Amino acid sequence: MAKDSQVAAPRREGAVWRRWPEVFGAPGSVRRSVAFLILALAIARAVAPSFLSWPNLNALLISSSFLIVIAVGEAFVIMTGMIDLGVQSVLASAGMLVAFLSVFGRMPAAAAVAVALLFGMAIGAGVGLLVTKGRIPSFIVTLGVYWGFTGVALLFNGGNYINPYSVQPPRPFGFMGIAGHLGGVSDLILLSFLVVLLGQLLLSYTPFGLWVRSVGSNEAAARVVGLNTAALKIAVFVGSGFLAALAGVMITAWQNSIYPGTGQGFSLEAIAGVILGGIPFAGGRGTILGAAIGALVIGLIDDLIVLLGLPALYEYIFVAAVLVAAGLQARGKGFAK
């Protein structure tokens, strides 16, 4: 008996060691992304004392708002067990489109923005149809979108940037109000918060959110109970395209110009943020709020690199390290199997 208890003790200790990440919440819990954010803030404060100043935090929230908006759309896609690599190209091409229509086409602001958003949705619908009806893996289709719509962005204005001074007399963007302020807070921050709030409400309190998680958890079972899994997949890609285009309009208004290469790296950063937020590649669980916090952590890393005066290449190294750590915690069985 004593011998058995001596053998069992290490097993119990090992089980506790394996379960220690659970103190931060169940797999997919927003508490895990909050823990990452607190840790990142603590490190940033230690290495750059000026980091927590309000001007810097305000700038961080503004510059991260575009990535947060994209990450919300990416979160829904990944939650179904798919991936969208094309969001940065949709952002750039939609931004170039809205600027082109406003400056060269002299289209009213509301109409130009509406066309850009519909453009993003149309790309998402095409991706969804190719994935569901064409049975092409989402990785392949969206990789094609990434390359193809990078080319589309370059076609506008011959690959040159577009701003109000691209024509004479200058024609200001009519949608600059998107980058304005309300009560001292940037509209870009408020808009990104609204997108996160609506996304979380959609996921948590509507049948659509339950259906999306069901597809990611067990697509075959979802079909058995009567869910139209093809329509759900198309819907999440349409949403991702819409939000990527919205981010393109936002960043165009913020910069008062747009370049074909704007948003470079956003696709992988959005995916990193989503995984950091607790949504595994297999899908089926997680929160939109967690994905948004994960995207904010990625933005924090970018901001910290600038504050420290480090070369931009360090961004890729740090994001890679964070992504690996996020992938470990998102598996659902702790850091060891």
Contact 294, 275 (CB under 8 A): yes
Q: Give the side-chain half-sphere CA count within 13 A for 86.
A: 36
What is the secondary structure of 24-35 as a DSSP string?
G-STT-HHHHHH
Phi, psi of 10 (to 5 degrees): -60, -35
CB atoms within 10 A of CB 102: 25
Domain ranges of the chain: 28-329
Q: What's the pLDDT tens digit per position in 150-196?
A: 999 999 988 899 999 999 999 999 999 899 888 889 999 999 999 99
Statement: the pTM of the whole predicted model exceeds 0.75: yes
Q: Given this model, what pLDDT does residue 327 score?
A: 66
Q: What's the pLDDT tens digit per position in 304-328?
A: 887 777 777 777 787 777 777 766 6
> Which of 203, 332, 187, 154 is CA-nearest to residue 253?
187
Q: Given this model, what pLDDT does residue 94 score?
A: 97
Q: Considering all CA atoms of the chain, what is the largest pairwise distance in Å, rounded to the nearest integer? A: 92
Does the pLDDT of residue 240 top 80, yes or no? yes
The span from the CA of 115 to the CA of 241, in Å, is: 13
Q: Given this model, what pLDDT does residue 169 score?
A: 92
- Determine the CATH number of domain 28-329: 1.10.3470
Q: Given this model, what pLDDT does residue 136 score?
A: 95
